[in-house]
Amino acid sequence: MTVTPLGVAVAQFAPTADESANLDTIADLVERARRRGADVVLFPEYSSYFVDPFDASLAEHAQGLDGPFVRALTALAAAHDVHIVAGLVERAASPGRVRNTVVAVDAGGIVARYRKLHLYDAFGQRESDWVEPGDIDVAETFDTGGIRFALMTCYDLRFPEVARVLADTGAHVVLVAAEWVRGPLKEDHWRTLLQARAIENTLYVAGADHPPPLGVGHSVVIDPQGVPVVHIGTATDVAVAFVDVRAVERVRRVNPALALRRYTVAPRV
């Protein structure tokens, strides 16, 4: 089977409390990404709705996975013949709380979803006051063009076992939707952790963030050797990298770290 490189875009923008404006920006960036050759477009965490600091409006604007945000993404995916991956505020069972969810959609609807496992109770923040953690379950992936994609959210990047579990699904690319909050050395943490997850798992890692003043920006695609392929900076924009299964295979022949390991990952109960 002939395998051709696939265009993966990181789309960087600052979601707000205006859900309609968020979708307008997403539509513009999908069109821009498609013109530049993207087949998969990754958006940040909380793309459907975002306020800082969090308040009760978060739950008021939460949606189901069959709600208007997912329907709009599906329509965009159909119109542009792409897969779209984006974070949304999903309704939760507990009153006043939500789930921090990432969905991947194509023209037919959701093909994979991921609910954030590790909540951002760090650096003076308390995401768990407003958000329910996702359940530890079998990781969902989606395939397109002979390439397998897995999903992750923001703070989960600091836990290497999450990416290792995703690597065990056979993923060639891990897509990280983030709102990586600014602070001392946070840009360095963001880039270092994305590169580490790529190097130790010998796969591509793409990260899409909010730009300043709240996020660090610097959305990027990292190759299986830890080398940044494309990078945005702090603008609202898209950047497209072309990922290749053969690159993953070449790196794993030279550095068979996954095959040589002596530990597996087990959930903490």
Question: 47-77 in b/e burial notation, b at 16+ Cβ within 10 A?
Answer: bbbbeeebeeebbebbbebeeebbebbbebb
Q: Which of 6-20, 66-80, 163-177, 255-269 has the lowest mean pLDDT?
A: 255-269
* Furthest-apart CA atoms within the chain: distance in Å: 52
Q: Give the active site residues.
A: 45, 116, 154
Please provide the DSSP assignment of 88-147 as one string: EEEE-SSTT-EEEEEEEEETTEEEEEEE-SS----TT--GGGTEEPPPP-PPPEEEETTE
Say what the pLDDT of residue 1 is. 56
Q: How far apart are CA 115 and CA 125, in angstroms?
A: 19
Question: Mean per-residue pLDDT for 36-57?
Answer: 97
Question: Mean per-residue pLDDT for 8-32?
Answer: 98
Cis peptide bond N-terminal to 44, omega within 30: no
Question: CA 87, 91, 94, 97 torsion: positive or negative?
Answer: positive
Q: pTM of this prediction?
A: 0.97
| Residues above pLDDT 70, as percent of the chain | 99
